[in-house]
């Protein structure tokens, strides 16, 4: 059964996109995608490049700190004579997406005050309330991952022990966004789930991001403080999204829920 599930996971994206094109019964109108970042993508992605003013960030964004080469390489570097002490890297998908499975191969950075993120976000800048779903690695302890979700700007989060050090090597991480629950995975193992009966859940379609940044000293109790002159690197092997599909057939149900009956 495990072998069947693994094969199905690897084929999920192709099936989901094909079925989405064939069926009008979609939980998400946005087609799936899979990006390997072998070279700079010609469309669909935006690389941040600007001075960033946010109370939790000690980081501006530079496109020079993001490199495409058999994956996505993100750097954190120090800067001087500026309000923020660091330059980080951030990339965003241009098209919002909604319910489905979000997956990435991630090798987060290690170090006090450093955060590696993979998340969906939308907010007032995009004309909506602030809804967000996060996978975040706090560099001061990469043996755990922080899962988080915002609903109308209100944060809820958990720190989950992984049983390994995420900064040792690239691994696959994912979250599934359903209308009635959120589920987070590490190496295809379910590590946390929250249902609508337990908590409000995000509902607004969001933009998919990956980033590397240093926190402001004001939130040092959360993630520590990066020392002066700190540099760090993170890696994203691929990012992909498979939308949920509602079909009446048994195969459609399996695709939509991520489950195959034994």
Residue 79 lies in a domain: yes
What is the structure's pLDDT at 20?
Answer: 33
Q: What is the pTM of this model?
A: 0.84
Residue 2 lies in a domain: no
Q: Structurally, how many domains does the chain consist of?
A: 1
Residue 84 has pLDDT above 80, yes or no: yes
Residue 260 lies in a domain: no
Strands 86-93 and 59-61: parallel
Give the active site residues.
132, 136
Average pLDDT of the residues of the chain: 86
Within 10 Å of residue 241's Cβ, how many Cβ atoms?
A: 25
Query: Between residues 246 and 41, which one has the greater pLDDT?
Result: 41
Q: Among residues 102, 86, 110, which one has the least CA distance to residue 210?
A: 102
- Determine the 3-state secondary structure of 33 from DSSP: strand
Cβ-proximal residues to 141 (8 Å cutoff; 6+ apart), any chain: none
pLDDT tens string 152-201: 999 999 999 999 999 999 999 999 999 999 999 999 999 999 999 999 99
Question: Looking at beta carbons, which pairs linking 129-133 to residues 24 or more positions away fall under 8 Å?
Answer: 129/153, 129/204, 131/202, 131/203, 131/204, 131/206, 132/202, 132/206, 133/102, 133/175, 133/177, 133/182, 133/202, 133/206
Residue 10 lies in a domain: no
Count the residues in the chain.
262
pLDDT tens string 7-19: 434 433 333 333 3
- 8 A C-beta contact, residue 60 and residue 52: yes
What is the structure's pLDDT at 30?
Answer: 53
pLDDT tens string 115-133: 999 999 999 999 999 999 9
Residue 175 belongs to a domain with what CATH number?
A: 2.60.120.200
Q: How far apart are CA 98 and CA 106, in angstroms?
A: 21
Q: Determine the structural domain holding residue 125 and report its residue range.
A: 27-244
Residue 125 lies in a domain: yes
- Determine the 3-state secondary structure of 174 from DSSP: strand
Q: How far apart are CA 34 and CA 236, in angstroms?
A: 13
- 8 A C-beta contact, residue 104 and residue 120: no
Residue 11 lies in a domain: no
Residue 39 lies in a domain: yes
């Amino acid at each position: 059964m495990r072998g069947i599930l693994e094969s199905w996971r690897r084929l999920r994206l192709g099936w989901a996109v094909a079925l989405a094109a064939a069926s009008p019964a979609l939980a998400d109108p946005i087609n799936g995608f899979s990006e390997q970042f072998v070279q700079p993508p010609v469309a669909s992605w935006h690389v941040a490049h600007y001075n960033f003013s946010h109370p939790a960030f000690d980081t501006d964004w530079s496109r020079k700190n993001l490199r495409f080469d058999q994956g996505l390489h993100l750097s954190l570097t120090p800067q001087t004579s500026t309000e923020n002490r660091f330059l980080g890297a951030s990339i965003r998908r241009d098209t919002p997406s909604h319910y489905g499975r979000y997956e990435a191969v991630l090798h987060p950075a290690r170090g006090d005050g450093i955060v590696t993120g993979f998340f969906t976000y939308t907010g007032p800048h995009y004309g909506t309330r602030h809804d967000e779903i996060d996978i975040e690695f706090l560099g001061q302890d990469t043996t755990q991952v922080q899962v988080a979700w915002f609903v109308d700007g209100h944060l809820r989060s958990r720190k989950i022990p992984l049983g390994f050090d995420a900064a040792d090597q690239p691994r696959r991480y994912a979250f599934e966004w359903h209308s009635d629950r959120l589920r987070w995975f590490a190496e295809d193992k379910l590590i946390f789930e929250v249902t609508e009966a337990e908590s409000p859940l995000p509902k607004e379609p969001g933009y998919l991001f990956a980033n590397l940044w240093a926190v402001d000293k004001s939130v040092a109790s959360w993630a520590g403080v990066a020392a002066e002159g700190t540099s760090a690197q993170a890696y994203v092997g691929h990012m992909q999204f498979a939308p949920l599909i509602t079909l009446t057939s048994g195969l459609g149900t399996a695709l939509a829920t991520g489950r195959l009956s034994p």
